């Protein structure tokens, strides 16, 4: 297997794995956050504005790790510097 094939296989496999794991783990964390928020809303409905606002801020912080994984996958597929280098070399030959 020459280097260009190896780069392609590694990029595609890593992109899929990154998105897969990067979507599972934040989803677990967000599920726990929402479950706890629902419990506290049931116990104290008066504080619902504060609880809801804090819940959304916390969910956005957790979501940002999923976004990091997504951005890395997009870079691997669409803006991959190693692949561009290989293509430039193959085009130059």
Partner 1 sequence: MNLSSDQQILWQHGFFKLNGTIVTTWAMMIAMASGAKLITRNLVAEGSISRWQGTLEIIVTSIEKQIREVGLDQPDKYLAFLGTLFLFVATSSLCTIIPGFQPPTGSLSTTAALALCVFIAVPLFGIGSQGLAGYLKSYTKPTLVMVPFNIISELSRTLALAVRLFGNMMSGVMIIGILLTITPLVFPIVMTALGLLTGMVQAYIFSILAAVYIAAATLVRKPKPDPEVRPAPSN
Query: Residue numbers of the site for partner 1 (CB under 8 A)?
Result: 50, 53, 56-57, 60, 63-64, 67-68, 70-71, 74, 78-79
For residue 19, the minimal CB distance to partner 1 (Å) is 11
- Among 18, 2, 5, CA closest to 83: 5
The nearest distance, CB 61 to partner 1, in angstroms, is 8
Smallest separation (angstroms) from partner 1 to the CB of 15: 14
Q: CA-to-CA distance for 76 and 80, rounded, in angstroms?
A: 5
**Cβ proximity to partner 1, 41 vs 74, nearer residue:** 74
Give the number of other CB atoms < 10 A from CB of residue 73.
Answer: 19
Beta carbon nearer to partner 1, 8 or 74 = 74
Using alpha carbons, select from 68, 32, 33 the residue that is nearest to residue 54.
33
Residue 53 or 85: the one with the smaller Cβ distance to partner 1 is 53
Q: Report helix, strand or coil for 1.
A: coil
């Amino acid at each position: 297997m020459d280097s260009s094939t190896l780069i392609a296989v590694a990029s595609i496999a890593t992109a899929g794995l990154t998105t897969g794991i990067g979507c599972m783990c934040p989803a677990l964390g967000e599920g726990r956050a929402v479950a706890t928020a629902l419990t506290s809303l049931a116990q104290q409905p008066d504080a619902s504005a504060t609880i809801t606002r804090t819940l959304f801020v916390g969910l956005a912080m957790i979501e940002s790790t999923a976004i990091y994984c997504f951005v890395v996958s997009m870079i691997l597929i669409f803006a991959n510097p190693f692949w561009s280098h290989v293509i430039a070399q193959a085009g130059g030959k």
